[in-house]
Structure formats: structure tokens, C-alpha cells
Amino acid sequence: MKNRVSSYGGYTAIGLDFGTREARAQLRGLDGKLLGEAVFSYPHGVMSDRLPDGTTLRPGDALQHPQDYIDALHTLIPALLQSGDPNRVVGVGVDFTQCTMMPVGEDGAPLCQTEQFANQPMAYAKLWRHHSAQPQADRMTQVAQQRGEMFLAYCGESVYAESMFPKILETFERAPKLYQAADAFVELADWIPWYLTGERRRSRSIAGCAALWDPTAEYPSFDYLESVAPGFGSALDKLRGPLVAVGRSIGGLLPERAAQLGLPAGIPVAAGLGDCQAAFLGVGLYQPGVLLSVMGTSSCDMVIHSERIAIPGMYGISSDSMIPGYYGYEAGQATMGDLFRWFSEQWVPKEIEDAAKVRGETVFDFLNHRIAARQPAASGLLALDWWCGNRTVLLDTDLSGLLVGMTMNTTCEDVYQALMQSLAFGKRRIVEQFQNYGIPVARMRVTGGVAEKNPVLMQVFADVLKMPVEVSDEANGSCNGSCIYGALAGSGFPNMELAAAAMGGGVSRVYYPTPDRGRMYDRLYELYCQLHDAFGTETSIMKQLKTMQAEEGKK
């Protein structure tokens, strides 16, 4: 853990981290000291059943109301400023779940807040885990393969349904009037700086990670988009705007916003980042060879490398997306904390809930005590961690979870152990993919609520991966990262390396592999890979079941 010594004259930076269910904000000194922190839960949450007016949504929809983001800003920043002098703030940084996007008018106003489109689902913010655009992603992939599009090599050889273009194409096809009315489709990591500064600029990192932008070829070509769907080439005009590098300022805080938030006008606002990209600096990383895993509702995995290497299944490979001079490689698992949330709501019996309460523990702490000493194969179960689809290496949101081996003797603890292991096996599949294509990974550093709260899970990761797992002393590396990028935008540091050294997190605990468990985990992992390859196909039973479910209109 770092021993922070203040030498920056009392100057501070603000970091804003917009997550899946809540937004967080931090005020930090330029020595990295946390001065203030606040959290805002989104009143509308994740809309997957219906809109506020009762309009029914489809299976796979995951929408949010942008008013929640505005309310978060106007609640969080004034709360932070109770802990510090607003005149000492040098900059504001922003990160957001990625790709979360929405259509806006010419002035940047969300179209869902107009009377014309208030009942149109496609007008709302499509959350990162909005999976209804999988058919559009499949078609974009097929056409790109037929045309030999070069960008496929650097997005895992498949256009991912969670990325920008499939979500725009879905709107183009399902809501043509809305598409025509939209002056822009914008990632929320870009929209928040636009809202704060009035400057219509986009983050180069965001464009590269989620919109197939390349510094040489730029976005996919007009001809390619027209081949996907006649008229869809117009999407390029709806992505216009200068691109700004990470750590640079989008613009100064508008006087109107400054007055509302209690900050001086003109404070620089940094180019936005994805929450995982922001976390890299936030946990103190600045070097290759270390895999960062941000474990929240899902899990995002980041590593940097000096060369650009095409790796199948890695949906984001982009230059300078986190650290100048390096390519950022992005992978991940579509569920992590959400899987445990589902488990606790659907599987944990009342007697375990009551027993945990008696001991003053959470359900997970109680279960961890019960399974901590178990041998790897004790449950007799094996699971595929695809409850929200497979992000890496299959890039397929239509896949679903699997639990094999249940009997009349299967217990809640058995299922819990199997789910833990499935997440570790999925992570090992990702790490091996990196290593097999020449990207070294010697250890993993973890940040996020799951890492902080579940030591048994961290030990399982270390045992399965056969490498040290470092838990960052920054529980929210993303928010700290946004503070750092805000400081850079405000010229608080001359370069990122100094900023990371001064403000980046350290390590609170290291989990090392347990040698005598490795052999059994290897055997279980071999079986996991067999299930992975058998069910992760275009004709998977999982996909057929989803199709049948959709035909009957069930969720």
C-alpha cells in the first residue's frame, strides 16, 4: 500500500465513474489522497422489461434513462465539494461503461426526452449489455468477411454486439424515423464531457475501443456500411467530431454548468474513457506484462503491448487507448458480480440467509467459510460462465449459462463453488489466448467490488491461473483513474508516468497459487474447454432455445 506524501500544493482533481447501476465520484489531491467520495444510484436502474410509460421491451434489451446521469452529476459534484475548495480543482475526468450509447439532437439533447420519441425504446441509452443487436452484429461480421475488411483482424475477427455500429444499425432498421432525427450517436463517455463543456468532441480511446476506429483507416468505410444495409453509410456523418487523445482536455466547464455544480467556469474536462481503460492508471499500472481485471457487474481485462498483434476473440485492440506509445488489448467476461447477484436471489435458501444474519455476515461470507477448505472437484459440478453471453473469446451474446452434474444431493454450496470456478476457468481461457499470440501475462491485478469482498474467489483465480493475483488498494480503480486523467487534462502533471506514480494505487494483498490444487484444476479446466467448444458454436443448443423463447414472446 502506498504511503502518500503531499507535495502538490493542495491542488485536487475530480473523477466521475458511471457504472451499470450507480455513479461514483471522488475528489483527490494530486498526491493521490482521497478527500471525498460520493455514490448515486440510478432511479430508473437498468430497464429490461419496460419503459417508464409502460412500453414493453424485447428480450435482450438493456436500456437506461439519461436523466439519471444528469441527476448524478448534479448530486455528486456538490457533495464532493463539501470536502475541498472548488478553486483548487485543476480538472475533471470521466469514465463510463462501454459501449453505452444513445441518439441525440444537434444540441446534444437526448431524443428520448422529446415528446416524439419518449415511447421509442431505441431513443434511450443502450447499456453496454444491450444484446438485442446481435443479429446486426452477425450480419456486419458476415459482410466484412465477404469483403475482406481489414478491421476484422483487430476486433477479434467478429463485430461484437455490444459495440457501437451494431447498436446504430439496430436503430437504423427498427426505428428509421428516430435514426433520421438523430444528429449524432454518442457514447456516454463522450456525452458527459459534451454536456459539461458544450464541446462536440469525441475521445480517441472510445472511438478505437468501441467504434472500430483506426488511426490509419479511421472508421469502417462508407462502401462497407452501404453493403451491410443500403443507406447505412450515413452513420459516419452521425459520428463526426474531432478526436481527442487520452489525458487531453475536451474543453472548459461551461459557465452555466459551473454555476449549477459549484465549480469555477473553465475548469478543463478530460476526454472520456471506458471504465476499464481508466482503471489501468488508477491502480498504478504503466507497464506491459500485467493483466488488469476490473471486476464489477461484469469483468473487463486490459493489457498493453508495444506491438499490434491480431488476436482472435479480442474485441478491442487500439493504439494509445490508455498509455501513449502502447496498444491497449481488451477482453473480458460478460458477467461477474451480476452472476453472484443472480445466484443469491435465485439459489440461496432461507435457512442460509438466516444463519448468515445470526453470525452478522453476508450470505457470501457465510458460504465462503463453508467452501474455503473444499477440494476443487468436491461439488461434482462444472459450469459455463455465460449467463450474459460470452465476451471473450467467442464474442457471442446469444450464448447462455450452463451447469452440469447436478443430482438430488447437489447443494447451494456446490453451485456456488462451481460458479466461482467457471469464472476462473473463463479468465484462464482469456489469459491463454493472450499468451498463445505473444502477449506476455505474468500476473493479474484486480480492482472492483468483487475483488475487495471475496477472498475465496481471488484464491481460486490464483490457483486456476497459476499466477499471483494482486488486489489493488484502490477498490474503485476506474474512479481514481478518472481523477488522474482529470489532473492530466488540467496540466497537473507533465506526463502520465509521473501522474501514475503520484496518484495511482498500490497493492493491498497478493494471492499466490496453491501448488497441490493445480493438477485437479487442470483436469477440471480441460473439461471446461470441452464444454466451451461444444456449446460455443453457431448451431448451439443455447441459441436454439433462445430462438424458441423469442418466438413465444417470453423473457
The Cα–Cα gap between 21 and 338 comes to 11
291 inside domain: no
Give bridge partners of residue 299 from the DSSP assignment: 295, 333
Where would I find the H helices in 83-183? 134-147, 164-174, 176-181
- 223/366 same-domain check: no
Q: Please check whether residues 266 and 393 belong to one and the same domain.
A: no
Tell me, yes or no, whether 377 and 519 share the same domain.
yes
pLDDT at 9 over 90: no
Q: Tell me, yes or no, whether 294 lies in a domain.
A: no
204 and 350 housed in the same domain: no
Q: Which residues pair with 274 in a beta bridge?
A: 96
Q: How confident is the model at residue 8 (pLDDT cuts 50, 70, 90)?
A: low
Q: Is residue 200 classed as helix, strand or coil in its secondary structure?
A: coil
Cα–Cα distance between 400 and 387 in angstroms, integer? Answer: 5
Same domain, 253 and 382: no
Calculate mean pLDDT across residues 31-51.
Answer: 97
Angle of CA points 386, 160, 183, to nearest 5°: 130
Model pTM? 0.93
Residues facing residue 409 across a β-bridge: none
Q: What is the CA radius of gyration of the chain?
A: 23
- Band the pLDDT of 540: cuts 50, 70, 90: confident
Q: What is the pLDDT of residue 303?
A: 97
Same structural domain for residues 372 and 236? no
Task: Name the residue range of residue 343's domain.
Answer: 332-473+514-553
Whichever domain contains 229, its CATH number is 3.30.420.40
Confidence of residue 5 (pLDDT cuts 50, 70, 90): very low
Q: What is the pLDDT of residue 153?
A: 92
Nearest alpha-carbon partner for 281 in 441, 98, 25, 483: 483
| 266 and 339 share one domain | no
Q: What pLDDT, on the 0 to 100 scale, is given for residue 216?
A: 87
447, β-bridge pairs: 294
Between helices 455-465 and 363-371, what is the axis angle to 10°? Answer: 50
Kindly state whether residues 422 and 541 are assigned to the same domain.
yes
Rounded to the nearest integer, the mean pLDDT of the chain is 95
Residue 290 lies in a domain: no
Q: State the DSSP H helix or E strand holding residue 503, giving kind and residue range, or none if neither.
A: helix 496-503
Q: Is residue 480 part of a domain?
A: no
CB 31 within 8 A of CB 4: yes
Boundary (domain end) residue, out of 232, 250, 274: 274
pLDDT over threshold 80, residue 553 = no
Domain-embedded: residue 484: no
pLDDT of residue 538 exceeding 80, the answer is no
489 domain-assigned: no
Q: Answer yes or no: do 254 and 362 share one domain.
A: no
> pLDDT digits over 88-118, tens only?
999 999 999 999 999 999 999 999 999 999 9
Say how many domains are in the chain: 2
DSSP H helices in 333-378: 337-346, 350-358, 363-371
The per-residue pLDDT for 334 is 94
What is the band of 507 on the pLDDT scale with cuts at 50, 70, 90? Answer: very high
Digit-coded pLDDT (tens) for 265-280 = 999 999 999 999 999 9
- Looking at residue 3, its pLDDT comes to 52
SS3 for 256? helix
DSSP helix, strand, coil percent of the chain (3-state; round to 5): 40, 20, 40
Q: 111 with 196, same domain?
A: yes
CA distances from 497 to 21, 27, 81 (A): 32, 20, 27
Asked which of 258, 274, 290 is the last residue of a domain, the reply is 274
In a domain, 154, yes or no: yes
Q: Is residue 508 part of a domain?
A: no
Domain closes at, from 249, 274, 299: 274
More confident position, 546 or 199: 199
- Please tell me whether residues 133 and 46 are part of one structural domain: yes
**Residues across the chain:** 555
Burial 217-230 (b: 16+ CB within 10 A, else e): eebbbeebbebbbe
Question: For residue 2, is pLDDT > 80?
Answer: no
State mean pLDDT over 118-134: 97
